[in-house]
Amino acid sequence: MRPINGDDVTEAVAGCAATLRAAVDRDWRAVRAGRVEWDCHTTAVHVADDLIAYAANLAGRAQDAYVPFELTLDEGTDNAGLLHVIETTGALLAAAVRTAPPGTRGFHPYPFRSADAEGFAAMGIAEVLLHTHDMAEGLGIAYEPPAELVTSLLACLFPHVQPGPAPWPTLLWATGRGELPGRAPVTEWRWNNNLVIPAERVTLTGLRPAAAKDLRLGGDGGFEWIASGPYEGTRDAAGMLLKAYEAGVHRPEFGVFALVRQEDGRAIGGIGFHGVPDEDGRVEIGYDLVEGARGQGYATEALCALADWALARDDVGSLFATVERGNTASQAVVTRAGFTRVSDEGAEFAYELRR
């Protein structure tokens, strides 16, 4: 798996057009698109509408709602013309993704009210792949997208879904379009964009599995780091995230975040959870900073922001952190963030912050 980009949008749309062009002379209004309630013509228009809407929300930096317009076809547009519209709107989304400055986000309702360029690219690809499948199924045409593309899409938008033995059947199962041995049928589903939590001077940017994999293997995770970054603790945390994803127990909102400095867009550290809350609503938290960013209050600011976000949830009642006895700087961080020392036995102090 790897991060999703504009080229992937282009590849997905090209596969859609090539597949459906084989049935361009059919009456798409008379054929139901697989298991969905729409006919093939309506489904194709929906794909084009989503592609242009995603491009608009990203390029227009929409904040609270979709950019207020709709796609309307000229009267008499035939199937060939409709495919041209899909190709054109796909090209617009690909261009918006390629040209979006780092950190750009636009409105999308689920689940955290925004998405970045990779998220919009992935959502567009998901619409194309899944609805091309629906239309191809209705029209009796064989269709299967590239496995590498589907693998990356699953990791980007479905990080809560355990990878299956093959990516395409896994995506179809995860979206209620097929069966997977050993797994219950899916009747309701949603994808997940990464969570971003703003603070005063830094932004906590949720890591996707592909970014976590890159960090664990020694890469930069798609971020521009200040000198000597990222710190080893961030790489270890990324490895924990990757293992959770592969085991099917990863919950993106309780994952790992890169700390991105707002003044220059550079990453300065990491923060996150050691897992999901236990049955008592208790969850452990950890953090680190690159040396060049220490002593400036960034860790305290990030910890306060993450704590506020977590303790506002119904499933979190308390946060827990451990700090080495000799790490007085980190002890000061958790204290300033409101944590109370609850244990001083062994090589580490334990701290807790309750709702």
The string of DSSP codes covering 135-165 is HHHHHT------HHHHHHHHHHH-TTSPP-S
Phi then psi for residue 307, to 5 deg, are -65, -45
Q: What is the pLDDT of residues 91-125, one digit of tens each?
A: 999 999 999 999 999 999 989 999 999 999 999 99
Specify the pLDDT at position 77: 97
Residue 343: in which H helix or E strand, if any?
strand 340-343
What does DSSP assign to residue 324? E
Q: Report how far apart the first and last C-alpha atoms of the chain are (Å, whole number).
A: 38
With 0-12 / 13-18 / 19 or more C-beta atoms within 10 angstroms meaning exposed / middle / buried, residue 77 is middle
Q: What is the pLDDT of residues 243-263, one digit of tens each?
A: 999 999 999 999 999 999 999
Q: HSE of 60 in the Cβ direction (CA atoms, 13 Å)?
A: 17
At residue 298, the 3 state secondary structure works out as helix
Classify residue 346 as left (phi > 0), alpha (psi -120 to 50) or beta. Answer: left
| pLDDT at residue 304 tops 90 | yes
Cα gap 71→15, rounded to integer Å: 22
- What are the chain's domains? 6-174 (1.20.120), 196-354 (3.40.630.30)
Amino acid at 85: V
Mean pLDDT, the chain, integer: 96
Specify the pLDDT at position 110: 87
Q: What is the mean pLDDT of residues 310-327?
A: 96
| pLDDT at residue 164 tops 90 | yes
**Residues 174, 186 contacting (CB under 8 angstroms):** yes
Give the CA angle between residues 173, 144, 249 to the nearest 5°: 30
Locus of tokens 């918006």: 96
Cα gap 85→52, rounded to integer Å: 10
pLDDT confidence tier of residue 346, bands split at 50, 70 and 90: confident
At residue 310, the 3 state secondary structure works out as helix
| pLDDT at residue 345 tops 90 | no
Higher pLDDT, 355 or 305: 305
In the chain, pLDDT over 70 holds for what percent of residues? 100
With 0-12 / 13-18 / 19 or more C-beta atoms within 10 angstroms meaning exposed / middle / buried, residue 74 is exposed
Q: What is the mean pLDDT of residues 147-161?
A: 98
Locus of tokens 């060049």: 292
Specify the pLDDT at position 355: 87
Q: What is the mean pLDDT of residues 57-80?
A: 96
pTM (two decimals): 0.95
Q: Which two tokens stand for residue 3?
A: 């991060």
Q: What is the pLDDT of residues 6-46, one digit of tens each?
A: 999 999 999 999 999 999 999 999 999 999 999 999 999 99
Regarding beta strands 318-324 and 282-289, do their DSSP bridges make them parallel or antiparallel, or are they unpaired?
Answer: parallel
With 0-12 / 13-18 / 19 or more C-beta atoms within 10 angstroms meaning exposed / middle / buried, residue 315 is exposed
Which residues lie across from 319 on neighbouring strands? 283, 353
pLDDT confidence tier of residue 344, bands split at 50, 70 and 90: confident
Specify the pLDDT at position 51: 98
Q: Other CB atoms closer than 10 Å to residue 91's CB: what's the count?
A: 16
Specify the pLDDT at position 333: 97
Phi then psi for residue 6, to 5 deg, are -65, -35
Is the peptide bond between 230 and the residue preceding it cis, with omega within 30 degrees of 0? yes
